[in-house]
């Protein structure tokens, strides 16, 4: 027996379908609890619900490949420039055209534009800096990346794994600046200067420098800013004991990595995905990146109010000289870097 379908029931179904369409499915490598407000504010502003799947950069790219055309992902949010480059090269992103994003995000922080559009945009940056023990190390001895491999710093250096994306991107950038032969010699020097085998995360390196186990370490700035802004007594001790250097201010500038987003190649909610990305470039969201997770905004000209970011640069306004090499160059050097790490024994 056929069920009679009334006009009111059709409208109800249509309304339900319309409501169902107001979603954006996000695959995110940003594992920061503070981002919850960012997403909820987007939903309040647009009515678009954010469905989020969390994984690391490599896991997200692998999942996209495995899911293929059946993937529900609309927006891909990654926290490493080389991984954004890799996803682009592997054809996992959909080119889009957005005058809003093109006007807001500098060319050096987004993919190269093609006739079809642009595949990814950076929304925040983080510098890879040197922290040092104020008692054991002089700032002038660690104000360039090159000096980290100098014999004068033997037995002082601590880092996380050389194969971690943050280090791979830094090493890829250094390779672009120095050339492959000099970069490999530099990596060999880093290994020779290790105070211990690479281990832990960036926060662990900072704490090891404060305790005196290490004299110097590499860290992304937002890890240091978290400690500087913490009210915990033990964190205040750490912040007092370590100094920070933005390397190579007199030469090529400090290495900067990015967090960025792309529309997935097989996105089903492309319009909503673009709205989400445009929201990420809005002044409110950019201010949130700075204050919520201690990152630098990608949109130029915004005043920095985060006290830790302002204090660590020593400039009062949070500014510093950053390198300007293309993201593609960093990505292209990844395989070379991994082979060099194997040759020099960098764990």
In terms of domains, do 234 and 282 share one?
no
What size, in residues, is the chain? 347
Q: Is the pLDDT of residue 4 over 70?
A: no
pLDDT over 90, % of the chain = 83
How many other CB atoms are found less than 10 A from the CB of residue 107?
Answer: 11
pTM given for the model? 0.88
For the chain, the domain total comes to 2
Q: What pLDDT sits at residue 315?
A: 61
Same domain, 219 and 190: yes
> In angstroms, how far is CA 79 from the centroid of its own chain?
3
Residues 331 and 201 in one domain: yes
Each residue's pLDDT tens digit, 238-287: 999 999 999 999 999 999 999 999 999 999 999 999 999 999 999 999 99
What pLDDT does 33 receive? 76
**Each residue's pLDDT tens digit, 317-341:** 678 999 998 888 898 999 999 999 9
- pLDDT average, residue stretch 10-14: 35
Yes or no: say if 124 and 258 are a contact pair by the CB < 8 Å rule. Answer: yes
What are the tokens at 206? 């900072």
Residue 301, Ramachandran bin (φ over 0: left; ψ between -120 and 50: alpha; else beta): left
The mean pLDDT value of the chain amounts to 91
Domain match, 35 and 154 both: no
199 plus 327 within the same structural domain? yes
Residue 195's alpha-carbon distances to 148, 153, 184, 199, 214, in angstroms, are: 12, 10, 20, 11, 6
Which is it for the CA torsion 62, 67, 111, 43, positive or negative?
A: negative
Whether 229 and 133 map to the same domain: the answer is: yes
Q: Is residue 309 in a domain?
A: no
Q: Between 188 and 31, whose confidence is greater? A: 188
Same domain, 29 and 170: no
pLDDT digits (tens, 9 = 90+) for 51-92: 999 999 999 999 999 999 999 999 999 999 889 999 999 999
Is residue 55 domain-resident? yes
In whole angstroms, how far apart are CA 241 and each of 94, 203, 209?
47, 14, 8
Does 9 fall in a domain? no
CA–CA gap between residue 210 and residue 237 (Å, rounded):
8
Q: Model confidence over 187-205: pLDDT tens digits? A: 999 999 999 999 999 999 9
Task: Specify if 179 maps to a domain.
Answer: yes
Q: What would the two tokens of residue 164 be?
A: 């971690």
Residue range 113-163, pLDDT digits in tens: 999 999 999 999 999 999 999 999 999 999 999 999 999 999 999 999 999
**Does residue 110 or residue 32 have the better pLDDT?**
110
Indicate whether 3 pLDDT > 60: no
Q: Does residue 10 surpass a pLDDT of 90? A: no
Residue 2 has pLDDT above 60, yes or no: no
Q: Are residues 217 and 330 in the same domain?
A: yes
C-alpha span between 252 and 325 (Å, rounded): 9
pLDDT confidence tier of residue 6, bands split at 50, 70 and 90: very low
Same domain, 139 and 230: yes
**Residue 21 pLDDT grade (very low, low, confident, very high; cuts 50, 70, 90):** low
Q: Is the residue at 271 inside a domain? A: yes
CATH code of the domain in which 182 resides: 3.40.190.10
Cβ atoms of residues 183 and 171 within 8 Å: yes
**Could you list the residue range(s) of the whole structural domain that residue 169 is in?**
126-255+322-344
Do residues 154 and 170 share a domain? yes
């Amino acid at each position: 027996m056929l069920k009679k379908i009334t006009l009111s029931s059709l409208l109800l179904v249509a309304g339900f379908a319309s409501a169902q369409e107001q979603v954006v499915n996000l695959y995110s490598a940003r594992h920061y609890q503070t981002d919850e407000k960012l997403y909820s504010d987007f939903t309040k502003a647009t009515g678009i619900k954010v469905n989020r799947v969390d994984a690391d950069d490599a896991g997200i790219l692998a999942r996209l490949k495995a899911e293929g055309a059946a993937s529900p992902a609309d927006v891909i949010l990654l926290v490493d420039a080389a991984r954004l480059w890799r996803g682009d090269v592997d054809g996992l992103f959909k080119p889009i055209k957005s005058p809003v994003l093109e006007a807001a995000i500098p060319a050096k922080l987004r993919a190269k534009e093609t006739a079809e559009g642009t595949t990814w945009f950076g929304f925040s940056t983080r510098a890879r800096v040197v922290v040092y023990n104020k008692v054991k190390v002089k700032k002038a001895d660690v104000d360039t990346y090159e000096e980290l491999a100098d014999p004068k710093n033997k037995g002082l250096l601590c880092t996380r794994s050389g194969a971690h994306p943050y280090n791979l991107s830094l090493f890829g950038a250094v390779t672009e600046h120095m050339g492959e032969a000099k970069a490999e010699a530099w990596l060999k020097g880093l290994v020779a200067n290790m105070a211990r085998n690479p281990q832990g995360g960036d926060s662990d390196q900072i704490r090891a420098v404060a305790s005196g186990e290490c004299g110097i370490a590499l860290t992304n700035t937002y890890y240091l800013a978290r400690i500087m802004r913490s009210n915990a007594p033990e964190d205040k001790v750490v912040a007092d004991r370590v100094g920070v250097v933005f390397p190579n201010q007199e030469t090529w500038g400090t290495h900067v990595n990015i967090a960025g987003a792309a529309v997935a190649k097989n996105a089903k909610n492309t319009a909503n995905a673009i709205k989400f990305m445009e929201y990420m470039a809005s002044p409110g969201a950019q201010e949130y990146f700075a204050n919520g997770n201690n990152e630098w905004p990608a949109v130029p000209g915004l005043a920095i109010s985060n006290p830790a970011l302002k204090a660590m640069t020593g400039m009062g306004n949070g500014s510093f000289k950053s390198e300007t090499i293309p993201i593609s160059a960093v990505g292209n050097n990844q395989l070379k870097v991994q082979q060099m790490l194997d040759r020099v024994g960098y764990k």
